[in-house]
């Protein structure tokens, strides 16, 4: 009989999480971690590329950049210097549904750091000269993606998968859309979506909730609530999706293969899908790595991923292979996705996948940015903090039957699509 995974009993805890709401509706959540010297502060906004206005693809991402270019109280040099003078660093990212701006600092610099972070989202100026320069920076970022086939193939896959739906837009936008952005575009986007009820503040590390609340009250008091109407996103109708099988020639040396599908959101299967993804393509012992890399030497890089959105879940499988071996790689991928090991794993195989997933979860608690990310995902997707013990129990409870049901839901009941970049003659 397979042994059960033994979760660590000390050093891994999320019992210090507390939350309160400011008078203007901003949720403030503290993850108190007393054994570190640092604090990671994050302001999370429910605005991503799917919220970009029509014909303005990339606006949410460009706004993330523009916030760093100056406020009523600091220019871009003072922003950068103010963070690093205190030994910290400032960063941000945009996804299809979220924007996050976060700052890591030593605990004793929490007050000035939070003041700076709040200044970025409460008092941006968008100086025209700086915006024009930042457009060039984002265009270079787009060029970088265009020169990276492994990134570009996923962007194109989403474009074909979602069609004209906002989820199919590139997060960075296009050269044309970015070139046309204006300060008024950014201001209107912020007015509509950077509202306290559509945002939350997190602090992870050596800070107590009461202390954070006092600072947040002062720093974010100028945020004005919206009109109280719940925001409605345009949902993607998975039942209307039509599978595709496309092959595109590119001036590349290696074929890029992405398979994928989309299903309606199913919270009951959330952890089953996470374990299934780990079993399929996450780690050295995953089915994809063992078959395509270790046994057949068809790929250096092969993996799977699962992404959870408001109304649906998307799973992708990736492999990069020699152009002359594309057909063989596709055959092997197809066989793996129909295999007994995926649809009916043995208890020992399932245990390995669950242990891998749990190990990653627990080790992530040692890094403050990972703790922040996990907390933000909980709040955004489930609307609450999900305790570590609850996640552990849910993962441990996943059975062979659960995996079989999840595999059928993803790979038999939903249509599978394929996109291949084929090397053209140089």
pTM (predicted TM-score): 0.94
Start-to-end CA span in the chain (Å): 55
Q: Is the pLDDT of residue 226 over 90?
A: no
Give me the pLDDT at residue 123, please: 96
Both tokens of 211, joined, read 């202390």
Q: Is 158 exposed, middle or buried (0-12, 13-18, 19+ CB in 10 A)?
A: buried
Task: Report the topology of domain 238-423.
Answer: Cytochrome Bc1 Complex; Chain A, domain 1 (3.30.830)
Give me the pLDDT at residue 351, please: 97
Q: Is the pLDDT of residue 12 over 70?
A: no
Give me the pLDDT at residue 360, please: 96
What does the pLDDT look like over 146-171, one tens digit per residue?
999 999 999 999 999 999 999 999 99
- Rounded mean pLDDT of 179-195? 96
Q: Is the pLDDT of residue 13 over 90?
A: no
Give me the pLDDT at residue 239, please: 84
CA-based Rg of the chain, rounded to a whole angstrom?
A: 23
Give me the pLDDT at residue 8, please: 46
Q: Are 204 and 372 in contact (CB under 8 A)?
A: yes
Q: What whole-number distance in Å separates Cα of residue 296 and Cα of residue 154?
A: 24
- Rounded mean pLDDT of 115-139? 97
Q: Where are the domains of the chain?
A: 17-219, 238-423
CATH number of 17-219: 3.30.830.10
Span of 26-35, 285-294, 356-365, 417-426 with lowest mean pLDDT: 417-426
* 347-364 and 270-281 helices, crossing angle to 10°: 100
Q: Concatenated DSSP letters for 43-95?
A: EEES--GGGSPTT-TTHHHHHHHHGGGBBSS-BHHHHHHHHHTTT-EEEEEE-
For the annotated catalytic residues, the residue numbers are 64
Give me the pLDDT at residue 4, please: 52
Both tokens of 47, joined, read 């605005």
Q: Is the pLDDT of residue 230 over 80?
A: no
Total number of residues shown for the chain: 426
| Residue 2's pLDDT band (cuts 50, 70, 90) | very low
- Rounded mean pLDDT of 66-72? 97
């Amino acid at each position: 009989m397979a042994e059960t995974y033994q979760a660590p009993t000390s050093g891994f805890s999320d019992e210090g999480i507390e939350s309160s709401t400011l008078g203007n509706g901003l949720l403030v959540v503290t993850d108190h971690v007393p054994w570190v010297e640092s604090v990671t502060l994050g302001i999370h906004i429910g605005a991503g590329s799917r919220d970009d206005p029509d014909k303005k693809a990339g606006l949410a991402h460009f706004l993330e950049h523009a916030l760093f270019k100056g406020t009523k109280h600091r220019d871009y040099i003072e922003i950068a210097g103010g963070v690093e003078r205190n030994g910290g660093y400032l960063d941000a990212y945009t996804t299809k549904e979220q924007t996050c701006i976060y700052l890591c600092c030593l605990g004793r610099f929490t007050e000035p750091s939070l003041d700076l972070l709040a200044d970025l989202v409460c008092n941006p100026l968008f100086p025209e000269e700086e915006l024009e320069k930042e457009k060039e920076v984002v265009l270079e970022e787009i060029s970088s993606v265009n020169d990276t086939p492994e990134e570009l193939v996923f962007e194109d896959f989403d474009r074909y998968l979602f069609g004209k739906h906002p989820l199919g837009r590139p997060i960075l936008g296009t050269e044309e859309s970015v070139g046309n952005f204006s300060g008024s575009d950014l201001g209107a986007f912020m007015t509509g979506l950077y509202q306290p009820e559509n945002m939350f503040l997190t602090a992870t590390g050596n800070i107590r909730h009461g202390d954070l609340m006092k600072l947040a009250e002062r720093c974010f008091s100028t945020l004005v609530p919206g009109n109280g109407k719940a925001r409605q996103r345009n949902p993607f109708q998975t039942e209307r999706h039509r599978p595709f099988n496309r092959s595109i020639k590119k001036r590349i040396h290696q074929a890029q293969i992405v398979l994928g599908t989309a299903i309606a959101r199913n919270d009951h299967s959330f952890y089953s899908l996470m374990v299934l993804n780990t079993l399929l393509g996450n780690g050295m012992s995953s089915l994809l790595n063992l078959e395509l890399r270790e046994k057949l030497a068809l790929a250096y890089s092969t993996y799977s991923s699962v992404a959870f959105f408001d109304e649906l879940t998307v799973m992708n499988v990736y492999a990069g292979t020699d152009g002359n071996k594309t057909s063989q790689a596709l055959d092997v991928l197809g066989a793996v996705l129909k295999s007994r090991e995926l649809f009916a794993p043995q208890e020992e195989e399932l245990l390995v996948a669950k242990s891998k997933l749990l190990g990653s979860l627990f080790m992530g608690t040692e890094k403050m940015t990972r703790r922040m990310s996990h907390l933000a995902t909980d709040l955004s997707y489930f609307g609450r903090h999900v305790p570590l013990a609850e996640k552990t129990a849910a993962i441990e409870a996943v059975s062979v039957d659960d995996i079989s049901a999840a595999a059928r839901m993803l790979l038999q009941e939903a249509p599978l699509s394929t996109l291949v970049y084929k090397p053209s003659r140089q």
